[in-house]
Amino acid sequence: MQQNLPQTLALLARTPAALNALLRDLPEAWTLSNEGENTWNAFEVVGHLIHGERTDWMRRVKIILQFGETREFDPFDRGGHIREIQGKSMAQLLDEFARVRAENLGELRALNLRQEDLERRGRHPALGVVTLSELLAAWATHDLTHLHQISRVMAHQYREAVGPWSAFLGVLKCAGHSSAS
């Protein structure tokens, strides 16, 4: 399907509550364990989502609306979550994610974007020309990438514990699809 703003907003609005329900007060054996060297645990993923809210998605929306293709987006700092998580608890991160996401969606709704706005183009430092519609679709799909990742990272912790059931549990066959998703 095409990107559809109400559908995109509906998903973006639900992710913080879904992660909150899954992760708040969950034992740290689930949330602080990763898949091995240079992989993220669920705590780091929530930090990464916060960092995207602060520095990436809405900022890029505004760059497209203000400058179009003439001003390239700032590159996203994939290590930026490290500052977000330092000294914080999972509960703090979940609260923070809910807050910054709600602020961003408030700003996005206030823009009252029309169909012709969604076709406006910007310039991504690696991907080249992209549309505002693609940016919004990517924002929502990025949430799903990390929900997919969190479920895989947590399942990995029970890889041995499930014994022969590993043959039936698809998530244990997923090797991940990039360095950090």
Query: Applying CB under 8 A, does 110 fall inside the site for a copy of itself?
Result: no
Long-range contacts of 124-132 (CB under 8 A, 24+ apart): 124/72, 124/73, 125/72, 125/73, 125/74, 125/75, 126/75, 129/69, 132/61, 132/64, 132/65
Which region among 48-56, 63-71, 84-92, 138-146 touches a copy of itself (by CB under 8 A)? Answer: 138-146
Angstrom distance (rounded) from CA 120 to CA 133:
8
The residue among 85 and 155 lying less far from a copy of itself, judged by its C-beta, is: 155
The residue among 86 and 115 lying less far from a copy of itself, judged by its C-beta, is: 115
Task: For residue 17, give both structure tokens.
Answer: 């509550």
Query: Applying CB under 8 A, does 94 fall inside the site for a copy of itself?
Result: no
The DSSP 8-state label assigned to residue 27 in this structure reads: -
Backbone angles phi, psi at 86, to 5 degrees: -55, 120
Angstrom distance (rounded) from CA 101 to CA 138:
15
Which region among 16-24, 38-46, 58-66, 99-107 touches a copy of itself (by CB under 8 A)? Answer: 16-24
Interface ranges with a copy of itself (CB under 8 A): 1-4, 6-7, 10-11, 14-15, 17-23, 25-27, 29-30, 33, 124, 127-128, 130-131, 133-135, 137-138, 140-142, 144-145, 147-149, 151-152, 154-155, 157-158, 160-165, 167-174, 176-178, 181
